[in-house]
Amino acid sequence: MTGVQTCALPICFPVTILAVDYLGKYCTMLGISDKKVLQLSEAICNKIHTIGVLEYYTPTTLAASVIYYIMETTASCPSLKSVSSTLNISSGTLNRCLKNLIEIEEDILPSKIIAAFRSARSGHESKING
């Protein structure tokens, strides 16, 4: 039987790569060692996947946006441009995904966490603008 190819594996399974698969690597690349950031990022990415929103973004963009979304609430937040450069993701794409993430935050996070995030963000903005 010439021309017939055989596969060493009897069954081939499709591989699905999700945003959550990039979180550990991205936290390491950004120098984030706080396990709470990683855990919250994982919870947000899993919720996004479960409810099926933001599916039009690549897993890499979504993972980077979720990490930045959380880091925005900290005093040590890197710039969007720095995150973009470090993770090799367009800053425009990252910014658009971040805006879309903020638009759906009420669907993916408990109200207490949203309130805390919004308070922290406004505190950082007033320090920058004041």
**pLDDT tens digits, one per residue of 30-75:** 999 999 999 999 999 999 999 999 999 999 999 999 999 999 988 8
**pLDDT tens digits, one per residue of 110-124:** 999 999 988 888 876
Residue 129 lies in a domain: no
Residue 13 lies in a domain: no
Domain that holds residue 25: 19-124
Please give the Cα distance from 109 to 11 (Å, whole number).
39
Cα torsion angle, 56, 29, 73, 125, sign: negative
The DSSP secondary-structure symbol of 3 reads T
Instruction: Report the CATH number that the domain containing residue 25 is assigned in CATH.
Output: 1.10.472.10
Residue 4 lies in a domain: no
Query: Residue 36, exposed/middle/buried by CB under 10 A (0-12, 13-18, 19+)?
Result: exposed
Q: What is the pLDDT of residue 74?
A: 87
Q: What is the pLDDT of residue 10?
A: 63
Residue 114 lies in a domain: yes
> Is the pLDDT score of 79 beyond 90?
yes
**Which tokens hold the place of 24?**
């550990």
Q: What is this structure's pTM?
A: 0.83
Q: How many domains does the chain have?
A: 1
Residue 3 lies in a domain: no
Residue 58 lies in a domain: yes
Residue 11 lies in a domain: no
**pLDDT tens digits, one per residue of 4-36:** 455 565 676 778 899 999 999 999 999 999 999
